[in-house]
Every structure is written in C-alpha cells, then in structure tokens.
Structure 1
C-alpha cells in the first residue's frame, strides 16, 4: 500500500502542466492534518510547488531537473478548479491590443472570485476581484477591449476608438454591442457610436 506522500505525488504526475492540488482532494487518504503535513513536506523537498495558501502544483521535470510551470497555465487551472473567470487585467489587455506601449511589470489578472496572490517559482501574479462588467465576454478580443478601455479611461476614448475601428472584426463589435447595458455609460456610448 502506498504512503500518503506517494499517493499525492502519483496524482500530481497525472495532472497537466500547471494543474493544482489541494488538501481536500486527499482527505479520503488521511486526516486533514496529515494531508496538510504531507503537502508541506513535499513542497519543502521540491517535489511540489506551493502556489498560495492551500494550493500546490507539481514541479515539471525537464532533463532531470525540476522547473516551474508557466503562470498562464497555473491561472487557467485555478479558474477551472474553482469555476471562476480569470482574465488579463486592463493594462495587459491594452498592451496586447496595441493600445498602450507601456510594459506592465509582473503578472496581473482579474477574477470573479476572491483576490489572491500566486507565487510560482520567481513569478508572482496578483489576482484581483473585478466587477462583473469587466469580466463580460471573458478572454475574447472583445472582452480584452472592455478591460483595456476601463484601464485607459474615458479621457482617451476618442483616440482609442480610432485604433479599434480598424483592428476589430464585425463579430467583435457585435459582441461589444451585446453587453453595452452592463458597461459604464461613457463606454457604452462610445461603442454604440461605432456600432451605430
């Protein structure tokens, strides 16, 4: 019969890159204290990575050495595990859409869940709670436009809309139009003028 740490490691090896583990998944194998201690010891031994309080992930082996998974994969696994939306924040959305040349430092995301910080190796990601309208349309291009506009602000809406007019497809404009009632008035008005 396998020990508790062996069972945890075996399960972790079956997960995709960035897959997360929590103590609740192993309570059928031992008490909460025993599971917490096993996870903690595996993390100290370098076989698991502690991403945040109560969340662990498997270290990936690459040519015999352990490496950390990509933060995007960890965030995606977290969203799936907790059934919450997690998307790039406004600064990163603006950069991705070419609306800003500012290079944001670190990783930042917005979520429908609770705010938290993930630490994966040397990379830290801030996950901040956001209102429902900022998460409308999820990880789509149109969703990124909403977050970029919110970050850039009403003052820059005119110049930004000129760039978006060229860049977005009719499907993107249709998606933006479909959620106008959720958006701040200034944003809904600017989108309405474009779709008009």
Structure 2
C-alpha cells in the first residue's frame, strides 16, 4: 500500500512531459488538508512544480539536473485537461509565418478560458483570454494567420495579407478567406481585397 504522497508522485511521473495534475484529482484518497499537505511536501522536496494555483507538473530530469517542462507542453496539457482552446500569441504566429523577424521575449498564449500566469522554473508564461474570433480557426495555419494579422494591426495588414497569400497552403488561404465574416472589418477588408486580386 502506497502512502498518499507516493501515490500522487507515481501518478505525476506516469504523465508525459508537461502533464498537469491537480489536488482535486486525489480527494478520493484523503481529506482536502491531507492532499494539500502531500502536494506541499512534494513541491518543497522538488519532486513537483507548482505551475499555477491548484496546478502542478513534474520537473524533467536531464543531464545537468532537473528543469521545468517545456512551456508548450504544459500549455497543451492544460488545454487538454480544461477543454479550452489554447494557441500561440499573434507575435509568435507572425514570427513563425515569416511576417516579422522579431522573436517575442516573453511566452504568451491565447485561450478561450480565463487569463492566468504559469510559473515554470525561472520563467513565467502568460495564458491570456482572447476574443472568440482570434481562436475560431484554432491552431492550424489559417488560425495563426488571423492572430498574426491581429498583432500586426491595420496599418500593415495589406502587405502582410499579400505575404500570407504566397506562403499559406491553398486550403488554408481559402479557409482564411471564407472566415472573413467573423473577423474585424479592417482584417476582412484586407483579406477580401487580396482574395479578389488572387
């Protein structure tokens, strides 16, 4: 028979990198104070990382000691667990699509859920609530294009849309063009003008 902390740790270690767990998952094994105390002890011992209120992950053992799990893996696990849509911020999308050379300093993700900060070792990741239209096309390239354009803004939308038309696969461009009705006016106009030209 395993103790409560051992059971929690075994479960945590069975998860893939970035997998998240919550004390609520273990309330069938003990009282709330006992479960909270077990999590607290495991965190103090360095066996768990508290990434947000009520959310924990296992550090990853490496050649040079342990490190926090990769932010994108924690964010994906959070999305899977909560059923939220979580996608990279527009600045990251713009960089990935070749619309800017700027590399974002801070990791920011957009979510259909509430805004929160995740602590992963020394770094902090912001998971920020976004309007539905920014998330409508999800994590696919057309969705990344919407977020990139939102970040770039109306002033440079025209030239960015021309570049996107060249770089996006045809199916993704068609998807972006067909989603115009759900997008802000300035973005819909820029995409529409390019669609007519193309």
Q: Smaller-chain TM-score range?
A: over 0.9
Residues 87 and 135 in structure 1, CA contact (< 8 A), matched pair in contact too: yes
Listed as ranges, the gaps of 5+ residues in structure 1 are none
User: How many angstroms apart in 1 are the aligned matches of 2:40 and 2:107?
Assistant: 25
The whole-number CA distance in structure 1 between the counterparts of 2:65 and 2:90 is 36
CA shift digits 1:115-174 (9 cap, x unpaired)? 000011122101110000001111111101100111111111122122112111210111
Say whether 1:84 aligns with 2:109: no
Q: Does 1:74 align with 2:74?
A: yes
Query: Could you list the runs of 5+ residues in structure 2 that have no partner in the other structure?
Result: none
Q: How does 1:1-196 map to 2 (within 5 A)?
A: 1-63=1-63, 65-196=65-196
Q: Secondary structure at the match of 1:109?
A: strand
Aligned residue for 1:61, secondary structure, equals strand
Q: CA deviation at 1:63?
A: 4.7
- Check the 8 A contact 1:112/1:129 in 2, yes or no: yes
Looking at structure 1, the residues matched to 145 and 60 of structure 2 have their Cα atoms a distance apart, in angstroms, of 34
Q: Is the 8 A contact 1:87 1:111 kept in 2?
A: yes
d(CA) in 2 for partners of 1:4, 1:11: 11
- DSSP 3-state at the match of 2:118: strand
Distance change >3 Å, CA 190–CA 64, structure 1 → 2: closer
Cα deviation, residue 62, structure 1: 2.7
d(CA) in 2 for partners of 1:161 and 1:180?
A: 12
Contact residue 17 and residue 73 of structure 1 kept, 8 A: yes
User: What SS class does the counterpart of residue 124 from structure 2 fall into?
Assistant: strand
RMSD of aligned Cα (Å): 1.3
**Bigger CA drift: 185-194 or 61-70?**
61-70
- Rounded to whole Å, the distance in 1 between the matches of 2:105 and 2:149 is 19
Q: 3-state DSSP class of the match of 1:113?
A: coil
Contact 1:71 1:123 in 2 (8 A): no
Provide the rounded CA distance (Å) in 2 between the counterparts of 1:158 and 1:177: 14
Number of equivalenced pairs:
196
